[in-house]
A and B are shown apart, each in its own frame.
Chain A
Amino acid sequence: MAITKRSSSNSEDLHAENERLRARVAALEAELVETQARTNEIVAQAQERVYWLDRWHLDLNALMRRPGAAELRGALRAIRAASRMLTRAKRRLRP
């Protein structure tokens, strides 16, 4: 009788462990689906945004890695800063 009780108890433990693991698998699967959904959405949105870059075969990262690109960007930023400064100065000088 004692042996039967122990067997029954072991079986219940095993069942509970199985249930716990199944719940864990289900939770992980749900997490995977959510991650995939976000990934799909982000990639699809990015593809919407970069259509013209792809159409014209422009890889801006590669472009900015080229010699002189950083300098050109620096020059453009300097021009922009100067232009903003001028605009601000003009505003201040306005009566």
Chain B
Amino acid sequence: VSEQRSVARISVVIPVKDGERYLEELLDALSREDVAETLVIDSGSCDRSREIAHSAGVELLEIEPGEFGHGRTRNLGAERTSGDLICFLTQDATPVTGWIEAYRAAFALDPRVGAAYGPHLPRPDTSPMIARELTEFFATFGAEGPNADRAGAPVLQHPGDSTFLSNVNACYARACWKEIRFREVGYSEDQAFGVDLLQAGWLKVYQPGAGVLHAHDYGPVEFMRRYFDEYRGLHETTGHVEGFGVLSAARQVSGAVAGDRRWAAGQGLGVGDQARWVARSAVHHGGRRVFSALGSRAHRLPTPLRGALSLEGRDGRELASDTSDGGQVTPDGPDPGAALSLSAPPATDLAPVPPATHVAPRLTQDFYEDVGRVWREGPAPLLDPVPGMADRERLRLALVVPSFRRGSGGHNTLFQILSRLERRGHLCSVWLQDVTGQHNSEWPAVIRSDIREFFAPVEGPVYKGYDQWQGADIAIATGWQTVHPTLMLDQCRARAYVVNDHEPEFYAASTEREMAEDTYRHDLHCIAASPWLRDLLIDRYDTSADAFQLGVDHDLYHPRPVTRRQDTIIYYARHVTPRRAVPVGLMALAELHRRRPDLRIVLFGDEGHLDSPFPYEHLGILTPPQLATLYSEATVGLCLSLTNFSLMPKEMLACGLPCVELAGVSAESIFGADGPLELAELTPRAIADALERLLDDRELWERRSREGIEFVASHTWEHATDEVEAGLRHALREREQAVPTQP
């Protein structure tokens, strides 16, 4: 096979549009190589390109501009030629002497070689930035390690090696091209081929001897827009997203500028020229960092902005038909083609299947990989129980928490309790399961500081991920997304689950709903944030469960020295949380407004304004001290909970503010049917009636206010911590009972 390949017939295909600048030089260079046939495919040139091709005596195929596509046209070229090897060049890539023989040598290395590519060499007038970049970029593919002494020798690339491939200068075995073919993608069909080729078991070769002169400069702005296009294409093809950080960008730019200066000095440029290139280099590399990052995020930009930033004016709506250059990571000109309109649909009733977009793998692991692992392999085994472990004074507790934001009520509950468990001598650590990825760029010390600032002053360490997992007496899951990762943690004596709400109810019929329900089926001892929730878990999932009562920070929430108004309803209208039943609440307030047009209505808890048929005052999201003041001056509070009750009614009551909540859900389990809360059915009229009762009946208002303060007085975080600690010890005790120990 190697011998056959060393004498293989070679066809060269060159897509061209307005390429007169270098085409003559290119074809002249080819005439000195042992090429069996050369095919120029012109897609509507307006310059002398066709004439040059005719004069050179090569085959010319003319296609409509609308027919051009990077993958499509190259596939056409391969079909229209017959060589055993098919080389592709762009119209501005001039082969160096020995180009063809170098490719033949590359394919003779191994019968599994499906493609080879050579370096892009700078032309004499190329700027130092581009010249250095090209040289150093292609040097990375050269022989290294024990083969470093073979610099200049072809390098075989196997699966797992770089997938880089560039149709500026590449050669393909016909058998390989037939098997894989170029994808009809808007950009980077060569990169896609590189990925597909290695995945299919073929090899490729970097052949330093098969170089082409290929580099030309743009102005700084054109370069930036060019990078935008390139990285956009790279993202579309491989899913690559270019990272960007101010400090890292500054470091990279300064390093690149220093490299360019050294390069310019090495080329013998004078001090003045060097200074000029250093300035240009800073603009070039700075612009590149910004525009490459933007390009790989182009899908998130508004369409007009995308079009404006693209050198080729691509706004993303012409993916299948655009004719921009095959994307290369190295600088490259927009060779054949310009923006074109969509091809006319075929005159038939048959609806053609549109060109598919290849989606490359982007996740290092599946989003729900942990769930899949638990389903596949089961939880990690627990350690054998040690007699008396449930009664030990100091427990090793590992709290696994989901991503958080400032103001998260569930996290506040967890950390209020955790900080108190620490003060009782337990050894607590926090393990962040960054479900939403919002802490991607945060390192553990920053996350720990945020927890302390947003919620409570935890003293223990905070870890992100489980690389440093050390085991625990109890691993504690705290939200449905943390349960499956917690089940995979080993070296634990027991596992527990602090359940703040019945989370399956947060979702419509969905994967998430099923997975959330699954969390209650792994024998984790649940510690639920209300008796209602505890009973629900026991009844519906037959799980073992305890309950705790949410605490109130009485230092903050107590009647403040402000005048209590007699005309103000405040409503926790957090519309982004569907379980708050905001549409019903608004209807109730509309009803109340019809009855009492002078009533002052205040909405809070959400950033955005809500449309309503009544006027209201909007306060947005308030800090806890601001809330305490608001609760102390309002007349009646309204907070609706379709699942487990919110802490908010308790905090309102602590400030002496009577509050209306929904009847028949969870509130009765805390406050009783005729406790300090005024309960109402989930209808606008019933809620309006309840609000009006408190506005009209002064005696009722006084009683609710007094009883509320008395009721929540015992609802402290210390008490909540007592209950949670008892639940944790219960979890350990269950383990002891589950595994009988020898007397």
Contacts and interface: CB of A to CB of B under 8 A. Distances in A.
Chain A residues touching B, majority SS: helix
Interface in A48-75: 48, 50-51, 53-57
A56 B461 contact: no
A57 B461 contact: no
A81 interface: no
Contact of B445 (A25, A37, A40, A50): A50
B445 A51 contact: yes
A22 to B, nearest CB: 7
A2 interface: no
Interface string B443-458: 1111011000000000
Contacts of B396: 32-33, 36
Given A36-B470, A40-B427, A22 B387 contact: yes
Contacts of B462: 47
A22 B389 CA distance: 12
Interface in B367-395: 386-389, 392, 394
Interface in A7-62: 18, 22, 25-26, 29, 32-33, 36-37, 39-40, 43-44, 46-48, 50-51, 53-57
Contacts, number: 56
Contacts of B446: 51, 54-55
Most chain B CB within a 10 A radius of its CB, from A22, A36, A39: A36
Interface in B694-743: 742-743
Interface residues of B, number: 28
Contacts of B459: 44
B423 to A, nearest CB: 14
Nearest to A51: B445
A47 B445 contact: yes
B91 interface: no
B429 A29 contact: no
A93 B158 CA distance: 70
B460 interface: yes
Contacts of A36: 396, 427, 470
Contact of B449 (A29, A32, A43, A51): A51
Interface string B213-252: 0000000000000000000000000000000010110000
B246 to A, nearest CB: 10
Contact of B461 (A25, A29, A47, A53): A47
B386 A29 contact: yes
B386 A44 contact: no
A36 B389 CA distance: 16
Contact of A33 (B248, B394, B429): B394
A55 B429 contact: no
A48 B459 CA distance: 10
A92 to B, nearest CB: 41
A58 to B, nearest CB: 8
Nearest to B429: A40
Contacts of B448: 44, 47
B451 to A, nearest CB: 11
Contacts of B389: 29
Given A33-B396, A33-B427, A44-B460, A39 B470 contact: yes
A21 B449 CA distance: 43
Interface string B438-482: 000111111011000000000111100000001000000000000
Interface of B: 245, 247-248, 386-389, 392, 394, 396, 427-429, 441-446, 448-449, 459-462, 470, 742-743
14 contacts: A18-B742, A25-B386, A29-B389, A33-B394, A36-B470, A44-B448, A44-B459, A44-B460, A44-B461, A46-B445, A48-B445, A50-B445, A54-B445, A55-B445
Given A33-B392, A46-B445, A53-B445, 13 more contacts: A18-B743, A29-B386, A29-B392, A32-B396, A36-B427, A36-B470, A37-B427, A43-B461, A44-B460, A47-B461, A55-B443, A55-B445, A57-B245
